[in-house]
Amino acid sequence: MLSDFQVGQLVKSKAGHDKGDVLLVVSILDDHYVMVVDGERRKIDKPKKKKVIHLKSLKVIDHDLKQLLETNQPINDALIRRKIKDNLNGSE
């Protein structure tokens, strides 16, 4: 299951209060959990721990955000919101 998710990847929540929301994977904790944000309700300073079985992979990876996250560069919620929106519009 872990190989289906990467830092910088967009996913859709299948369960919970955020069901149907598109989220960004900011870190992988283990085979069962990842940390996700959306830049709105779930901000970068307080990511949500989410079970991977409750997420659907959208097969979209934002390489700019991935690089920023992997090198611990500053990132803000406005950038996350914009990148999610841009990637969704580009994949439809």
* pLDDT in single tens digits along all 92 residues of the chain: 445 899 999 999 999 999 999 999 999 999 999 999 999 999 999 999 999 999 999 989 999 999 999 999 999 999 999 999 998 887 54
Of 80, 76, 58, give the one whose Cα is nearest residue 11. 58
User: What residue spans of 14-57 are helical by DSSP H?
Assistant: none
Number of domains in the chain: 1
Would strands 55-61 and 48-51 be described as parallel, antiparallel, or unpaired? unpaired
Question: Are 52 and 34 contacting, i.e. CB atoms less than 8 angstroms apart?
Answer: yes
Could you list the residue range(s) of the whole structural domain that residue 86 is in? 2-91
Tokens of 2: 């872990």
Residue 1's pLDDT is what? Answer: 47
CATH code of the domain in which 66 resides: 2.30.30.30
Q: Quick one: how many helices (H) and strands (E) in the chain?
A: 2, 5
Tokens of 22: 């598109």
- The model carries a pTM of 0.90
| Cα 65 from chain centre | 10
